[in-house]
Structure 1
Amino acid sequence: MPVVLTEHAKQRMQKRGMDEGLVLEIIDTGIQKDAGNGHFWIYKNFEHRQDNLLCVAVVIENVMVVKTIMHHWENTP
């Protein structure tokens, strides 16, 4: 499935010292949590980073749109 990054997501990536490869790794191997109405959080812990958990907020339709990139994310029930 194609992945599209919004301008906001690109800005957050740069601010958080992340590249597209890291975002794709989170999408490919992270844990997906339903946020409702086709929106999801996908998150992953990276031991070598001090800003865990890293999370991408996405909308999944015909393409996966990465809306933003978060760090210090908390997986709450």
Structure 2
Amino acid sequence: MYSERFGREVKITRHAMQRMRTRCITDLELALLIEEGQTRNKDEYRLWVAHRFEERLDNMLCAPVVLEEKFLIVKTVMHHFSWEG
């Protein structure tokens, strides 16, 4: 998968793939999340990307990601996510 938004190849960790299967998150949903989601930076290289899918009943999906020189690394994928504490 390639992210036009971030200009990098997307790498998905084994943990993130397991969470996607467990939470029934498709590759297409992950791609839309990455390309269209809201972002919040943790620091220069780490951020959260979150997106609400109207057809899903589990609130927003969120992917904590790491920006490396050539790759966007998806660390995990969460559901029932909220920006509020």
Question: Which TM-score band (shorter chain)?
Answer: over 0.9
Equivalent residue letter for 2:40: K
Are 2:29 and 1:26 aligned? Answer: no
Deviation at 1:52, TM superposition (A): 1.2
Q: Which runs of 4+ in 1 moved over 6 A?
A: none
TM-score norm. by structure 2 comes to 0.85
| Structure 1 portions without partners, runs of 5+ | none
Count of aligned pairs between the two proteins:
77
Are 2:10 and 1:3 aligned? Answer: yes
| Structure 2 portions without partners, runs of 5+ | 1-7
Match of 1:49 in 2: 56
Q: Aligned to 2:57, what secondary structure does the other structure show?
A: coil
Residues 26-61 of structure 1 deviation map (CA, whole Å, 9 limit, x = unaligned): 000010111224111000011111111100110011
TM-score norm. by structure 1 comes to 0.93
Percent identical across equivalent pairs? 35
